[in-house]
Amino acid sequence: MEFAYDAKTNEMIAELTAFMESHVYPAEKTFHEQLNALDNRWAWDSVPVLTELRAEARRRGLWNLFLPGQKGAGLTNLQYAPLAEITGRSIQLAPAVFNCAAPDTGNMEVLNEFGTEEQQRRWLEPLLDGEIRSAFAMTEPDVASSDATNVELSIVRDGDEYVINGRKWWITGAMNPNCTVFIVMGKTDPTSERHRQQSQILVPRDTPGLEVLRPMEVFGYDDHDHGGHAELRFTDVRVPVSNLIGEEGGGFAIAQARLGPGRIHHCMRAIGVAERAIEMMCQRAASRVAFGKPLAEQGVIRDWIAESRVRVEQLRLLVLKTAWLMDTVGNRGAHTEIQSIKIATPLTVQWILDKAIQVHGAGGVSQDFPLAAMYAGIRTLRFADGPDEVHKNALARTELKKHLAG
């Protein structure tokens, strides 16, 4: 069994780490200062320092690292995993610098795999170039969206158009005026088989009848640093039939194809968040004195640090195994492992962040450190792309089949 990264991965790790240290980490403060100075607080991708960083990253070939094949960097999941982890160390800035930020990554994957030539020309190419942003609209306020077959938004064909009616909420990135297009999931045939009722369709932001009603908050954060989360209303929204992605009834299958890579990408980045938190915890513990000695000499603090290291190493091995399986047997063959990492990673990283916050004292929950915002984001990840309970239920069902068969 080989635990070493291949030569290409090691080369990319070195290049990316050097760029993070020379460009990204030093720009974090400037990014937030410029963001707070914007006339439109939601237009985060118009911040000058981000534009400069993106241009330099692209010049160096550190661009679209998430996407395999000729349109991306040509990396496997296993090669991309440590790179995504590195970007997670600066979770609010780095993924966007390298054009590897959700939800655009998932939308680009959908358009790359299922989009027509015209859809790719109109939407995928500018997304790959970082010229526009996008959003994925699946979650709804009036149904339990943890079951994707529950979606009620209607997509009804009328001649050469589809007419869309319904509501969506928690649509990440939608508050950004440069979020030019939405991939919307709804029902085209409520009478069909349960997993064939849904379809996905492209809706440009400026389409009449599409309203951005309000921003949603996460633990009081509006997440304007990556376009926020919006509630949307669709009232007799008309788009051409050519905007349908794939075929009618293919929406659920497309969603599953999208969410597999999305889940592992979240987990890869979350490990980077954990590493940054451990680093901050150690630095704080070494620099603060309580009861006559540094916090780093307190037994309970050392226990937290040791536990954090053990837990993050366990996570990384499981995520890398999952990436390897996705590369070798496909997403379906790696389904159990994808569920496992989606259960384990947010919960574990949440625990590590909690200890890092505790070591920082009141500062840990303040705006002076990124830990509280990291915690809010990681806690939210226990809902995003499917809640813990859905993944645990499916994983347990698979495990039970092994032992109850026959």
User: Do 370 and 376 form a contact (C-beta atoms < 8 A)?
Assistant: no
Helix (H) and strand (E) counts in the chain: 14, 10
pLDDT above 90 (res 319): yes
Q: Are residues 286 and 330 in the same domain?
A: yes
Domain membership flag for residue 109: no
Of the candidates 281, 229, 198, the one whose C-alpha atom is nearest the C-alpha of residue 102 is: 229
> Where does the pLDDT of residue 390 fall: very low under 50, low under 70, confident under 90, or very high at 90 and above?
very high
- Give the CATH number of the domain where residue 216 resides: 2.40.110.10
Q: Are residues 42 and 66 in the same domain?
A: yes
Q: Are residues 266 and 352 in the same domain?
A: yes
pTM of this structure: 0.95
Of the candidates 249, 251, 240, 250, the one whose C-alpha atom is nearest the C-alpha of residue 157 is: 240
HSE value, Cβ hemisphere, 13 Å, CA-based, for 67: 27
227-238 average pLDDT score = 98
47-54 average pLDDT score = 98
| CA distances (Å), origin 398, targets 333, 340, 404 | 13, 12, 10
Q: Are residues 364 and 341 in the same domain?
A: yes
- Give the CATH number of the domain where residue 121 resides: 1.10.540.10
Residue with tokens 């979020």: 179
Instruction: State the total domains in the chain.
Output: 3
pLDDT at residue number 98: 98
Is residue 13 classed exposed, middle or buried when 0-12, 13-18 and 19+ CB atoms within 10 A define those classes?
middle
User: Do 351 and 300 form a contact (C-beta atoms < 8 A)?
Assistant: no
Domain boundary pick from 207, 229, 248: 248
Domain membership flag for residue 105: no
- CA 337 remoteness from chain centre: 18
What angle (nearest 5°) sits at the alpha carbon of residue 356, between those of residues 355 and 361? 95
Per-residue model confidence as pLDDT tens digits over 242-270: 999 999 999 999 998 888 788 899 999 99
**3-class secondary structure per residue, 169-185:** EEEECCCCCCEEEEEEE
> Where does the pLDDT of residue 204 fall: very low under 50, low under 70, confident under 90, or very high at 90 and above?
very high
5-14 average pLDDT score = 97
Q: Are residues 228 and 260 in the same domain?
A: no
Q: Are residues 279 and 218 in the same domain?
A: no
What does the alpha-carbon distance between residue 303 and residue 305 come to, in Å, rounded to a whole number?
Answer: 5
Domain membership flag for residue 139: yes
Q: Are residues 197 and 289 in the same domain?
A: no
Domain membership flag for residue 64: yes
pLDDT at residue number 147: 85
What 8-state DSSP symbol labels residue 61? T
Which amino acid appears at position 88 of this protein? Answer: G
Per-residue model confidence as pLDDT tens digits over 136-168: 999 999 999 888 889 999 999 999 999 999 999
pLDDT above 70 (res 405): no
Domain membership flag for residue 260: yes
Q: Are residues 264 and 183 in the same domain?
A: no
Per-residue model confidence as pLDDT tens digits over 97-112: 999 999 999 999 999 9
HSE value, Cβ hemisphere, 13 Å, CA-based, for 297: 8
What 8-state DSSP symbol labels residue 132? -
User: Do 182 and 123 form a contact (C-beta atoms < 8 A)?
Assistant: no
pLDDT at residue number 262: 86
What does the alpha-carbon distance between residue 135 and residue 393 come to, in Å, rounded to a whole number?
Answer: 28
Q: Are residues 220 and 338 in the same domain?
A: no
pLDDT above 90 (res 189): yes
pLDDT at residue number 28: 97
User: Do 178 and 217 form a contact (C-beta atoms < 8 A)?
Assistant: no
Q: Are residues 293 and 373 in the same domain?
A: yes
- Give the CATH number of the domain where residue 356 resides: 1.20.140.10
Q: How many CB atoms lie within 10 A of CB 118?
A: 10
- Can the peptide bond before residue 177 be classed as cis, meaning omega within 30 degrees of 0? no
pLDDT at residue number 145: 82
| CA distances (Å), origin 160, targets 74, 117, 156, 180, 341 | 37, 19, 11, 22, 43
Residue-number span of the structural domain to which 24 is assigned: 7-100+115-128
Per-residue model confidence as pLDDT tens digits over 332-381: 899 999 999 999 999 999 999 999 999 999 999 999 999 999 999 999 99
Domain membership flag for residue 317: yes
Of the candidates 153, 142, 229, 147, the one whose C-alpha atom is nearest the C-alpha of residue 185 is: 153
pLDDT at residue number 406: 57
Domain boundary pick from 196, 216, 248: 248
Domain membership flag for residue 107: no
Q: Are residues 276 and 395 in the same domain?
A: yes
Domain membership flag for residue 336: yes
Q: Are residues 62 and 189 in the same domain?
A: no
Q: Could you tell me the sign of the dihedral formed by the alpha carbons of 347, 110, 201, 134, in that order?
A: positive
Is residue 111 classed exposed, middle or buried when 0-12, 13-18 and 19+ CB atoms within 10 A define those classes?
buried
